[in-house]
Chain A
Amino acid sequence: DGGITQSPKYLFRKEGQNVTLSCEQNLNHDAMYWYRQDPGQGLRLIYYSQIVNDFQKGDIAEGYSVSREKKESFPLTVTSAQKNPTAFYLCASKLAGANEQFFGPGTRLTVL
């Protein structure tokens, strides 16, 4: 089955710790995205990558980092510099030239 997987589904972290969220796709999509979702705020773009070894900051990149070493993988690291990291994180991907993005199931991060 082709699709986007995110792991883990739920993640708990202590304040001051870095944590990495996984996103893998086997759709052969070129572009990948990370969004943050908070109640009543819709989706906000953190980072995106259009090709391997290249990525750009989105609207709320502070406190986050990414890498794109392989076409199918786009991990997101939430660093201790992120002031309010508790949120639902969504990964998405898209074919170059296509219009719509496809989403993974999400990771809910809770900082204790």
Chain B
Amino acid sequence: AQSVTQLGSHVSVSEGALVLLRCNYSSSVPPYLFWYVQYPNQGLQLLLKYTTGATLVKGINGFEAEFKKSETSFHLTKPSAHMSDAAEYFCAVSLSGGYQKVTFGIGTKLQVIP
């Protein structure tokens, strides 16, 4: 079984400030980890993913995330927030192999203040 916890359902940052969205997971086997972004009334778009290999993963729009096994974390960061980053972000986990059911976190809404 796997689960995901996103700390903070709402996060506000100033334009130009660091973005940090937190995600912790639990998994009985090595996990696959994902971050998705959702703009209002739209579907989810993959930002980045971790499967194996390098633990620092770079994604689209300047976002990156680091897989830390010892902390069971996969936090999403971006050095400088843009107004266009305002959206809802979902962390997700699946198990390697087989059907790979994906479990999503409850989401974090990011507000960017001008």
Contact = CB atoms under 8 A, between A and B. Distances in A.
Give the one of A4, A41, A43, A88 with max B CB within 10 A: A43
Interface string A32-65: 0001000011110100001000000000000000
Contacts of A35: 104
B43 A100 contact: no
A42 B104 contact: yes
Given A99-B32, A99-B51, A41 B44 contact: no
Interface residues of A, number: 21
Nearest to A91: B43
B101 A103 contact: no
Contacts, number: 44
Interface string B37-60: 000011111100101000000000
Q: Is the interface of A mostly helix, strand, loop or mixed?
A: strand
Interface residues of B, number: 22
B90 A45 contact: no
Interface stretch (A14-22, A66-74, A78-86, A104-112): A104-112
B16 to A, nearest CB: 29
B26 interface: no
A42 B42 contact: no
B44 A103 contact: yes
Contact of B41 (A40, A101, A104, A108): A108
Interface of A: 4, 6, 35, 40-43, 45, 50, 88, 90, 92, 99-106, 108
